């Protein structure tokens, strides 16, 4: 891509218009590109086989959410008559048209990988899946017995006739449409039925007595039902049955201006999520055209919304294979997260933090110190108060148990629970209710702004004064995801950061003006302007001939004003190195606009989740970690916190981590100016894998 140059009336070449749609990639198409990179992991023969199965399942799950939220949102905008294009110039309809092409290609490739790559590889390891044809008789007997014993008792076939209309189909549920011939006991002649499969049934199971490379050892529930469907319709001929699944709009809508009780409003919306507007129909590839048309018409979908797939309609269920099969040789090697010597040698977290700040890098380093910090705060008689934000906590959270215990012991415990953490709303409602019943002060943040900051503040009496101990993180207080997501967390008792957190909690729980924070940057008030100001400062250094560099790592980059600031930085000669795992609307490498910008994405064993912003500042370096990506929602519609890493040793350590990421030639992809990605390979150079390097550096 090149810059279109224009000349002014005096003949001078005018600078390029940085708001031009030529310089912005579409958000939705970039999301699909990310999912292609995830799918590529399923093809990578250097990875353990069951990890490749997991990546295939993740690509399916990602695509589900893409339809539930992003495609559903575009369809909703069309229904409301919205046609305004985004920064990339595409209208909602144009985006849907492009998505249809890209998504169909992606789904086709997913099933090719399943059938031509994953299935044969599983068979070679003695983990064959029951085939659609030529099933061994012994396996047929097992399927019949399993169906009769475990499946049939919980199935309810529903014939379609005037007295029994088409049933309500839940979002992403497994269903079969069955073609019948003949009359039943009442003399009714119905030719169609629907079989809805309860979600309580396991989608993958092992085949009893067939554990050998000569026969399949794994069975998908869909195959077991399909082979035995005739048992549900005694005396009636079953001419065929075919899987189908409907994806629905799953975004919650709560009118912030009308809501009186946020918890009740979210609860009410959750009941509707299962039956939101249909946005996608998946059917078996051999489903007869008339039945596909019947289903499409019933769900009021367009032809482009129909996906005919050669295999199970929900590849995410393949995750069951990963969980079911105990083959360590086919999975990543287990590791024990490291614990810094300072806290491994003593159990007093408060003493360790008083000594100096403590930085953790998950999952390479253990999440246990975070859990211990809250647990010790709960039991310590000198602790008076605990204040915390919870976006996602997970089931059976030890942190939640500690908060409950702290309240029971009479401490003042305040928790800001974000009810609208996507797809965790029900769990967070249950969490909020439990905390309230235990005596915890539970707040839901500020209506209209998601509380996405990751904060803990403990107030402790020491001698004749109160001291604040704080934890600030880039990721959630969720022990399970802390084993799979890369995130930084900082423990500190810095007085100014403690005062900032005190002011922030007052702001979130009471009615105060936006505080003038001392060290922290906050959305929706100061973070956006500060990021742009720091980029402009690098521009000033470059123009003055001083060293100018920035490195930014995040999940997504789409905010137009920040992108334009980065383009200006590139034009001024600032070296901009961006590590953006997922969506990126910026286009690097455009002569005259972004030739000094590189963008890479790392997709590997762990989900790259940390947000880190480094500014060279002509040698007076600054480095921040944050809960926020560079997106409109994070800057303007969420409560986010960005915190400085002031200890020089820790700045150097994080910058070294970033440098290793920038040198990765195993799991890294480079973004091209046209929005496509190219995998970076070693090509004879020394092999560098950032995640392996950090495991070796930090883990035990």
State the Cα–Cα distance between residues 299 and 309, nearest whole angstrom: 18
- Catalytic residues, by residue number, are 452
pLDDT of 186 strictly over 70: no
- Mean pLDDT over each residue of the chain, to the nearest integer: 91
Contacts 24+ apart (CB under 8 A), 191-194: 192/159, 192/160, 192/291, 192/294, 193/157, 193/158, 193/159, 193/160, 193/233, 194/157, 194/158, 194/160, 194/166, 194/167, 194/169
For residue 617, how many other CB atoms are within 10 A of its CB? 18
Identify the band that residue 213 occupies on the pLDDT scale cut at 50, 70 and 90. very low
Per-residue confidence at 254, pLDDT binned at 50, 70, 90? low
Local confidence band at 338 (pLDDT 50, 70, 90 cut-offs): very high
Residue pair 415/401 in contact (Cβ under 8 Å)? The answer is no
Stated length of the chain: 700
Q: How far apart are CA 176 and CA 178, in angstroms?
A: 6
Which has the higher per-residue pLDDT, 620 or 159? 620
DSSP 8-state assignment for residue 67: I
Burial annotation 545-565 (CB, 10 A radius, 16+ → b, else e) = eeebbbbbbbbbbbbbebbbb
Q: How high is the pLDDT of residue 210? A: 45
The percentage of residues in the chain with a pLDDT greater than 90, rounded to a whole number, is 77
Phi-psi map region of 601: left, alpha, beta (phi>0 left; psi -120 to 50 alpha):
beta
Backbone angles phi, psi at 684, to 5 degrees: 90, -15
**pLDDT for the residue 444:** 85
Report pLDDT digits (tens) over 501-523: 999 999 998 877 778 899 999 99
574, exposed or middle or buried, with CB in 10 Å at 0-12, 13-18, 19+? buried
pLDDT-derived band at 272, boundaries 50, 70, 90: low
Q: What percent of the chain has pLDDT over 70?
A: 92
DSSP 8-state class, residue 170: -
Alpha-carbon distance values, 271 to 200, 250, 266, 432, 584 (Å)? 19, 11, 9, 18, 34
Q: How confident is the model at residue 418 (pLDDT cuts 50, 70, 90)?
A: confident
The DSSP-derived string for 496-542 is HHHHHHHHHHHHHHS--PPP--SS-EEETTTHHHHHHHHHHHHHHHH
d(CA 4, CA 447): 45
Provide the β-strand partners of residue 215. 212
Q: Say which residues have a Cβ less than 8 Å from residue 259's Cβ, sequence separation at least 6.
A: 265, 447
DSSP-derived secondary structure for 314-344: -GGGGHHHHHH---GGGSPPP---B--HHHH
> So what's the pLDDT on residue 446?
83
Taking only the tens place, the pLDDT of each residue in 71-115 is 999 998 988 888 889 899 999 999 999 999 999 999 999 999 999
pLDDT band at 260; cut points 50, 70, 90 = low
What is the C-alpha to C-alpha distance for residues 248 and 299, in angstroms, rounded to an integer? 10
Nearest to 610 by CA among 485, 507, 698: 485
More confident residue, 136 or 663: 663
Average pLDDT of the segment spanning 391-401: 89
Least Cα distance to 664 among 687, 648, 639 occurs for 687
Alpha carbon of 570 to those of 218, 405, 427, 592, 600: distances in Å? Answer: 54, 53, 44, 8, 16
Angle value at C-alpha 206, between 315 and 38, nearest 5 degrees: 25
Q: pLDDT by residue (tens digit) across 578-612? A: 999 999 999 999 999 999 999 999 999 999 999 99
SS3 category, 611: strand
**Contact predicate 226/241, CB 8 Å:** yes
Asked if the model's pLDDT at residue 224 lies above 70, the reply is yes
272's CB contacts (< 8 A; 6+ apart) are none
Q: Is the confidence at residue 44, as pLDDT, over 70?
A: yes
- Provide φ and ψ at 152, rounded to 5°: -55, -40
Asked whether the predicted pLDDT for residue 263 surpasses 70, the reply is no
Residue ranges of the alpha helices (H) in 6-112?
27-43, 49-65, 72-79, 92-112
Average pLDDT estimate for 551-561: 98
Q: Do 665 and 688 meet the contact criterion of CB atoms below 8 Å apart?
A: yes
> pLDDT band at residue 275, thresholds of 50, 70 and 90?
confident
Comparison of pLDDT for 202 and 424, the residue scoring more = 202
CA-CA distances (angstroms) from residue 339 to 168, 391, 499? Answer: 51, 25, 28
Q: What are phi and psi of 44, to 5 degrees?
A: -75, 105
Dihedral angle at the C-alpha atoms of 19, 22, 28, 34, nearest 10 degrees? -110
Q: Identify the helix (H) or strand (E) that includes residue 580.
A: strand 575-580
- Which residues, in sequence order, are CB contacts of 537 under 8 Å at separation 6+? 615, 617
Distances (CA, A) of 414 to 367, 389, 461, 627: 22, 9, 18, 20
Whole-Å CA distances, 366 to 339, 347, 391, 481, 657: 6, 14, 20, 12, 17
pLDDT exceeds cutoff 70 at 259: no
Q: What is the pLDDT of residues 441-499, one digit of tens each?
A: 999 878 889 999 999 999 999 988 999 999 999 999 999 999 999 999 999 999 999 99
Distance, CA of 229 to CA of 243 (rounded, Å): 12
Beta bridge partners of 365: 338
- Least confident segment among 79-83, 332-336, 411-415: 79-83
Confidence of residue 264 (pLDDT cuts 50, 70, 90): low
> Which of 281, 279, 282, 283 minimizes the C-alpha distance to 249?
279
Per DSSP, helices labelled H in 149-232 are: 221-228
Q: Please give the domain boundaries of the chain with CATH numbers for all domains.
A: 97-330 (3.30.1840.10), 341-519 (3.30.870.10), 522-698 (3.30.870.10)
Residue 212: predicted pLDDT: 43
Closest CA to 222 of 142, 127, 114, 313: 313
């Amino acid at each position: 891509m090149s810059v279109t140059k224009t000349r002014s009336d005096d003949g001078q070449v005018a600078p390029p218009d940085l708001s031009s749609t030529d310089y912005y990639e579409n958000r939705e198409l970039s999301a699909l590109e990310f999912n292609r990179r995830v799918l590529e992991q399923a093809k990578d023969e250097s990875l353990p086989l069951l990890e490749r199965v997991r990546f295939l399942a993740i690509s399916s799950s990602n695509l589900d959410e893409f339809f539930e939220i992003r495609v559903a949102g575009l369809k909703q905008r069309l229904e409301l008559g919205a046609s305004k294009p985004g920064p990339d110039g595409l209208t909602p309809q144009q985006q849907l048209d492009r998505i249809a092409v890209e998504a169909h290609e992606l789904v086709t490739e997913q099933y090719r990988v399943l059938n031509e790559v994953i299935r044969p590889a599983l068979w070679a390891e003695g983990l064959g899946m029951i085939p659609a044809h030529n099933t061994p008789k012994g396996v047929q007997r097992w399927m019949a017995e399993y169906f009769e014993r475990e499946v049939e008792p919980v199935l309810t076939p529903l014939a379609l006739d005037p007295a029994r209309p088409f049933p309500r189909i839940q979002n992403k549920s497994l269903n079969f449409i069955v073609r019948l011939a003949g009359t039943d006991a009442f003399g009714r002649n119905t030719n169609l039925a629907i079989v809805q499969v309860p979600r309580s049934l396991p989608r993958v199971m092992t085949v009893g007595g067939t554990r050998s490379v000569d026969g399949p050892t794994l069975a998908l529930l869909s195959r077991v039902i399909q082979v035995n469907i005739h048992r549900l319709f005694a005396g009636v001929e079953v001419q065929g049955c075919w899987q189908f699944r409907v994806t629905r709009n799953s975004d919650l809508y709560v009118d912030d201006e009308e809501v009186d009780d946020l918890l009740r409003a979210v609860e009410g919306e959750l009941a509707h999520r299962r039956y939101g507007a249909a946005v996608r129909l998946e059917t078996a590839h051999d489903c007869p055209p008339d039945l596909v048309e019947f289903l499409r018409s019933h769900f009021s979908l367009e032809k482009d919304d129909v996906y005919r797939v050669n295999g199970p309609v929900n590849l995410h269920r393949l995750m069951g294979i990963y969980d079911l099969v105990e083959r360590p040789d086919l999975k990543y090697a287990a590791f024990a997260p490291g614990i810094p010597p300072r806290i491994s040698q003593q159990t007093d977290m408060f003493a360790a933090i008083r000594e100096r700040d403590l930085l953790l890098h998950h999952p390479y380093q253990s999440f246990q110190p975070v859990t211990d910090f809250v647990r010790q705060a709960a039991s310590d008689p000198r602790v008076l108060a605990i204040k915390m934000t919870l976006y996602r906590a997970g089931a059976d959270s030890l942190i939640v148990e500690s908060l409950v215990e702290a309240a029971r012991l009479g401490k003042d415990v305040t928790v800001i629970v974000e009810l609208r953490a996507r797809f965790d709303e029900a769990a967070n409602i249950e969490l909020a209710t439990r905390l309230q019943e235990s005596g915890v002060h539970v707040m839901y943040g500020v209506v209209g702004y998601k509380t996405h900051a990751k904060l803990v503040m403990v107030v402790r009496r020491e001698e004749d004064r109160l001291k604040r101990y704080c934890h600030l993180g880039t990721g959630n207080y969720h022990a399970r995801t802390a084993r799979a997501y890369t995130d930084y967390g900082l423990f500190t008792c810095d007085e100014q950061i403690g005062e900032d957190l005190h002011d922030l909690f007052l702001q979130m729980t009471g009615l105060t003006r936006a505080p003038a924070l001392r060290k922290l940057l906050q959305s929706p008030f100061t973070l956006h302007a500060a990021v742009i100001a720091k980029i402009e400062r690098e521009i000033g250094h470059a123009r003055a001939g001083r060293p100018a560099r920035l490195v930014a790592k995040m999940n997504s980059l789409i905010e137009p004003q920040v992108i334009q600031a980065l383009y200006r930085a590139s034009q001024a000669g600032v070296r901009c190195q961006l590590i953006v795992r997922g969506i990126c609307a910026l286009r690097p490498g455009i002569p005259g606009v972004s030739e000094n910008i590189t963008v890479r994405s790392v997709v590997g064993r762990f989900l790259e989740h940390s947000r880190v912003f480094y500014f060279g500042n002509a040698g007076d370096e600054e480095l921040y970690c944050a809960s926020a990506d560079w997106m409109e929602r994070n800057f303007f519609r969420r409560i986010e916190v960005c915190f400085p890493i002031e200890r020089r040793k820790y700045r150097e350590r994080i910058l070294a981590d970033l440098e290793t990421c920038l040198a990765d030639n195993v799991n890294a992809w480079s973004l091209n100016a046209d929005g496509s990605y190219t995998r970076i390979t070693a090509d004879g150079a020394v092999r560098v894998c950032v995640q392996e390097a950090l495991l070796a550096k930090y883990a035990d």
